[in-house]
């Protein structure tokens, strides 16, 4: 599973199983058959294409015993066993990062004639992104999840299953979701039920909006205009007495405002959390930290410092003036993924009093030399200088096969040494693999 899926897996409880979900040209069908109980059929039309691959984040599977952040065994989904997951290769040019020969090229669609392409495969519970790659001659590099890494490679999204909002910048992926089936996907040591990201009944859905706002210095989507994705809870009342609590939720490196609602179905998760009464009706703002007028390629933490200043002086006032969103730090939270988690760390350290809670998902200060080297992280001296650091809600979440593993472990150790209470969630445990009694123990090692 991707880092985003792992993180969203931490956010909520499960919902009832759905029998079948259809999204235009992608059909998710309950089969009641191994290996997952569900099959996904893709249909695509392009009369001039000679070959069509499905990639853009749709990856083969791997297991806990043969995986590193940069290596996946690349099992075909037909070989799925409960406990398997997927990891994205970090560098598409690194031989061996997807499959033993590093030769995974995406899933080849069948040509069914007259320009029609089709492909059917089982998948387990989760949220998946995909894009079509046409006539790609780049070998394994056709299978990258990030088109920006491979100049000239075009990702075609599914015109009948468009993303909530195309981000124009990098990801051009469509999304589908597969429900959980405990008959085929149950794994004793890990909850693999991701149904909390499936849509709730329409009457209980909040509203998702793409919003442009005035932000002097911004260079995208227009001069002095910046963009964000907004979630307003069901029955949102702009005149209600108490303003809504607000969560600022940041994308990661190379990302955009629309990544959380697109790739992680974050607004479905928030719908579920509100419906199940885990959280009160909440406004969610997914801002975008690139193109604000800061130096996007500049060294850290200067970019994060610049973004912090921008958000506090421009973004928050805009949100609070325009929507019924709380301006009380007690009812504001900031969270983010990866580089967005580094931004969250910047907010925690340098905007401590502006938020009551901080969610750090896979990142803090960037690459760390070791799990135990806490130099530069929060310390007793930081807490002595800024006692509020010790009374915020701090959540640290990351995955076992996560490029930010060392960074997050160092952060957790630093928080412990500084006596700061925090909530920790690790997607898969290290160093002891989960459930050694099951899974792929019998397979060859690489």
Ligand X SMILES: *[C@@H]1O[C@H](CO)[C@@H](O)[C@H](O)[C@H]1NC(C)=O
Max Cα–Cα distance, the chain, nearest Å: 71
Site residues for ligand X, 123-142, by CB under 6 A, read 134-135
| 278 versus 446: smaller Cβ distance to ligand X | 446
**Which of these segments, 10-18, 63-71, 154-162, 186-194, binds ligand X (CB under 6 A)?**
154-162
Site for ligand X in 90-109 (CB under 6 A): 91, 93, 99, 101, 103-105
What character string, x for contact with ligand X (CB under 6 A) and - otherwise, covers 191-210?
-------------------x
- Angle formed by the axes of helices 302-310 and 339-350, nearest 10°: 70
Q: What 3-state class would DSSP assign to 185?
A: helix
Contacts with 237 (C-beta within 8 Å, 6 or more apart), sequence order: 324
Q: Per rule CB under 6 A, is residue 356 in the interface with ligand X?
A: no
Q: Which residues contact 282 (CB under 8 A, 6 or more apart)?
A: 231, 233, 244, 245, 246, 247, 270, 274
User: Toward ligand X, which CB reaches closer, 14 or 373?
Assistant: 373
Contacts to ligand X from residues 261-280, by CB under 6 A: none
Judged by CB under 6 A, the residue of 68, 380, 391, 441 near ligand X is 380
Q: Is position 172 an interface residue for ligand X (rule: CB under 6 A)? A: yes
- Nearest CA to 290 out of 215, 389, 197, 382 is that of 215
18 or 90: whose CB is closer to ligand X?
Answer: 90
| Two structure tokens written together for 323 | 């929507």
The answer to whether residue 431 forms part of the interface with ligand X (CB under 6 A) is no
434 in contact with ligand X (CB under 6 A): no
Q: Please count the residues of this chain forming the interface with ligand X, following the rule CB under 6 A.
A: 48
User: 364 in helix, strand or coil?
Assistant: coil
For residue 119, what are its two tokens? 């492909």
Question: Is 214 a binder of ligand X (CB under 6 A)?
Answer: no
Tell me which stretch binds ligand X (CB under 6 A): 185-193, 246-254, 282-290, 341-349.
341-349
> In which element (H, E) is residue 356 found?
none
CB 61 within 8 A of CB 53: no
**Dihedral, CA atoms, 275, 277, 279, 283, nearest 10 degrees?**
30
Of 139, 148, 159, 393, which lies in the binding site for ligand X, with binding defined by CB under 6 A? Answer: 159
Torsion 228-234-236-241 (CA) sign = negative
Q: State yes or no: residue 350 binds ligand X (CB under 6 A).
A: yes
CA within 13 Å, CB half, 321: 8
Task: Give the span between the Cα atoms of 197 and 219, in whole angstroms.
Answer: 33
Is 322 a binding residue for ligand X by CB under 6 A? The answer is: no
Q: Which of 79, 305, 309, 424 binds ligand X (CB under 6 A)?
A: 305
Tell me if 391 contacts ligand X by CB under 6 A.
no
208 phi and psi, to 5 degrees?
A: -105, 130
Q: Could you say which of 80, 171, 345, 405 contacts ligand X (CB under 6 A)?
A: 345
Binding site for ligand X (CB under 6 A): 46, 48-49, 91, 93, 99, 101, 103-105, 110, 119-121, 134-135, 149, 154-157, 159, 172, 210, 212, 221-222, 225, 227, 238-239, 295, 297-299, 301, 305, 312, 316, 345-346, 349-350, 353-354, 380, 417, 419
């Amino acid at each position: 599973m991707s880092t985003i899926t792992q993180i969203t897996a931490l956010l909520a409880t499960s919902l009832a199983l759905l029998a079948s979900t259809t999204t235009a040209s992608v059909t998710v069908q309950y089969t009641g058959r191994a290996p997952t109980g569900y099959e996904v059929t893709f249909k695509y039309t392009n009369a001039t294409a000679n070959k069509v691959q499905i990639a853009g984040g749709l990856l083969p599977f791997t297991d806990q015993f043969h995986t590193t952040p940069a290596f996946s065994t690349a099992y075909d989904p037909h070989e799925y066993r409960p406990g398997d997951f997927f990891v994205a290769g970090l560098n598409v040019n690194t031989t061996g990062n997807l499959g033993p020969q590093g030769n995974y090229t995406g899933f080849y669609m069948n040509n069914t004639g007259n320009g029609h392409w089709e492909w059917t495969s089982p998948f387990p519970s989760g949220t998946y992104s995909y894009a079509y790659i046409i006539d790609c001659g780049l070998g394994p590099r056709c299978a990258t999840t990030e088109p920006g890494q491979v100049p000239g490679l075009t990702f075609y999204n599914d015109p009948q299953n468009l993303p909530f909002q195309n981000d124009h910048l990098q990801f051009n992926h469509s999304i589908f979701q597969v429900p959980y089936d405990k008959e085929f996907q149950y794994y004793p040591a890990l909850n693999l039920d991701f149904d909390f990201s499936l849509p709730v009944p329409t009457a209980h859905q909040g509203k998702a909006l793409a919003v442009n706002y005035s932000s002097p210095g911004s260079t995208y989507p227009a001069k002095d205009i910046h963009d964000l994705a907004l979630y307003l809870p069901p029955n949102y009342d702009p005149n209600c007495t108490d303003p809504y609590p607000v969560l600022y939720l940041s994308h990661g490196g190379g990302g955009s405002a629309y990544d959380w609602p697109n790739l992680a179905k974050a607004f479905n998760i928030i719908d579920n959390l509100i419906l199940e009464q885990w959280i009160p009706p909440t406004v969610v703002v997914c801002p975008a930290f690139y193109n604000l007028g800061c130096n996007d390629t500049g060294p850290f933490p200067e970019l994060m410092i610049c973004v912090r200043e921008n958000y506090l002086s421009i973004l928050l006032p805009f949100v609070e003036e325009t929507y019924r969103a709380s301006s009380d730090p007690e009812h504001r939270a900031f969270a983010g993924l990866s580089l967005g988690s580094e931004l969250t760390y910047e907010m925690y350290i340098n905007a401590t009093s502006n938020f009551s809670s901080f969610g750090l998902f896979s990142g803090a200060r960037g690459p760390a030399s070791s799990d135990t080297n806490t130099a530069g992280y929060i310390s007793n001296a930081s807490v002595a200088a800024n006692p509020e650091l010790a009374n915020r809600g701090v959540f640290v979440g990351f995955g076992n096969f996560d490029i930010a593993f060392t960074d997050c472990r160092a952060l957790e150790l630093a928080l412990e040494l500084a006596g700061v209470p925090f909530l920790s969630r690790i997607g898969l445990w290290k160093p002891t693999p989960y459930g050694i009694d099951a899974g792929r123990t019998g397979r060859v090692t690489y």
